[in-house]
Amino acid sequence: MSRHYQSEITQFIHQLKQQQPALEEAQRRGRMLLWDKSPLNLDERARQQTSRIQQKPYVYY
């Protein structure tokens, strides 16, 4: 197998990044918005766990 082989998908992604240079930055902003959350402090986490109401095993009963 050649070391210089690139699949069609890889070629497409490289071409897309060349056409839209701001694409990676937009992806990073989207990730920060949806996934990168600030960690909760331990006091806040304990408060959330103690204030949680337990759900009954069968909610439609």
Give the pLDDT score at 1. 57
| pLDDT, tens only, 6-58 | 999 999 999 999 999 999 999 999 888 888 877 778 898 899 888 888 877 88
The domains of the chain are located at 8-50
Rounded to whole angstroms, the Cα distance separating 50 from 61 reads 25
Q: Roughly how many angstroms between the first and final C-alpha of the chain, as a whole number?
A: 62
Rounded to whole angstroms, the Cα distance separating 24 from 38 reads 22
